[in-house]
Amino acid sequence: MALFDSDIASPFRIVNLVIGSLIVLGGIASFFPLGFRSVIIAIYTILFGSLVILAEFSLPSQIGRYASFLLSFIGRGLFYIFLGAIILAPGALRIVAGAVIILVGVIFVVLEFTPSIEPPTNMRSDEPGYEAAVGDTV
């Protein structure tokens, strides 16, 4: 899967990479002021941002099996809204990053109910390798 191909998935990939980077930056900003709670939230936020970025480059079987919500607009949109709300806090970077992430999350949720927009190739259940990634969950 090429990162910048000419199909409709390319804009979605770019948006997801930007959002993943904003989540990581928001996670780094969450370290301050130092405290047990802020460090735990920052670590999880950075890990989730890294997961979003990783999902754009490859589809490891663990993502398909344990984080299948990343394979749909509504799942990814709700995930972005959740992470944006966690990041949203006083401070310019956290306000901007949180608001942008929430906005993109809302747009993804709306896209789930827009039949004329097809999901990108890395978010389709008919993609080769998807069944092997998800496996038998029943």
- Calculate the average pLDDT of the chain: 84
What's the rounded Cα separation, in Å, for the pair 12 and 32?
31
pLDDT at 138: 41
Q: Is 135 inside any structural domain?
A: no
Q: Is 136 inside any structural domain?
A: no
Q: Which residue has the tokens 């709300």?
A: 85
Phi, psi at 127, each rounded to 5°: -70, 140
What's the rounded Cα separation, in Å, for the pair 5 and 40?
37
14: which residues sit within 8 A by CB, 6+ positions away?
4
Q: Is 62 inside any structural domain?
A: yes
pLDDT (tens digit, 9 = 90+) per residue, 12-40? 889 999 999 999 999 999 998 899 999 99
Among 88, 104, 76, 90, CA closest to 27: 88
pLDDT (tens digit, 9 = 90+) per residue, 95-108? 999 999 999 999 99
What's the rounded Cα separation, in Å, for the pair 100 and 80?
10
The pLDDT > 90 percentage for the chain reads 56
Q: Is 3 inside any structural domain?
A: no
Q: How many domains are contained in the chain?
A: 1
Range of the domain at 46: 9-126
Q: Is 99 inside any structural domain?
A: yes
Q: Is 2 inside any structural domain?
A: no
